[in-house]
Amino acid sequence: MKEAAFAVIYPDIDTFEDHAKAVAAMICETRSFPGCIEAHAGINRARHEIAVFHFWESNDHLDRYLTWRAERGDLDARSATMRREQDFRTYSVP
């Protein structure tokens, strides 16, 4: 079964542009990760929010991707300058 992942990121206002650039670079890497069907990011500068959407061939592919990101330190690097914890949700897609 396919898996969709949604995240809304809330960077500190003074680090917002750095976050936006980093997320854009991460999306390019995500698209080439095995099992990724689609990956997109939306940026709302008025609310200082970044939304991320990933669509995966399976939950296992998503898990491998998240483990890879965590092991590289990408998730901690982004979390260090957030004004609040990100909202992250996954959904199985029949």
Domain ranges of the chain: 2-93
Per-residue pLDDT of the chain (94 residues), as tens digits, is 999 999 999 999 999 999 999 999 999 999 999 999 999 999 999 999 999 999 999 999 999 999 999 999 877 777 778 888 889 999 999 8
Handedness of CA 26, 29, 35, 37 (dihedral sign): positive
* Alpha helices by DSSP H, 1-94: 16-31, 59-72, 74-79
Total-model pTM: 0.87
Q: Which fold has domain 2-93?
A: Alpha-Beta Plaits (3.30.70)
